Amino acid sequence: MKRAVLLACVLAATPAAMAQLYKWVDKDGRTIYSDQPPPQQQSKQLNLSTGQPAAAPRSALDRDKELEKARQAAKEKSQAAEKADLKAEIERENCRRAKANLNSLNGEGRVAKWNEKGERVILDDAQLAAERANAQKAIDEACKTS
């Protein structure tokens, strides 16, 4: 039965794409469509566009694949945005720390460091100037985007 209905649909669609279609009402009041005009009866000729065939309907599997692809793309975009936000936050924090280090070197009072023996050593003027130069380089690198 299903094959017969499918065959009838295919056959009905094929002549419609190739020929004219006629419509009339028979003596019993039924509307009839045919590719040939009725004998000795008035009919209406129907004009059908025979342009490009309609796109085949997408299967549920195709729609699911497209939806999954869209979800994956959205997930990747979200992850990329999160990574970019995290990177920007780290850069801001590094810049802040570099500036704080330079501020502590420029402050009043003595500046000390711990040497390799674990002893506290107070920096002289030359060492302090070198540390300030290093701190300024760190700021220049860390605060490029700020």
Domain residue extents for the chain? 2-46, 60-142
Q: Output the pTM of the full model.
A: 0.48
Q: State residue 1's pLDDT score.
A: 62
Contacting residues for 37 by C-beta, under 8 A, at least 6 apart: 22, 43, 45
Residue 16, pLDDT above cutoff 50: no
Work out the number of other CB atoms within 10 angstroms of the CB of residue 16: 15
Helix (H), strand (E) at residue 33: strand 31-34
Residue 74: predicted pLDDT: 96
Q: Express each pLDDT in 17-72 by its tens digit.
A: 555 777 878 778 888 877 777 777 776 776 666 566 666 677 889 999 999 999 99
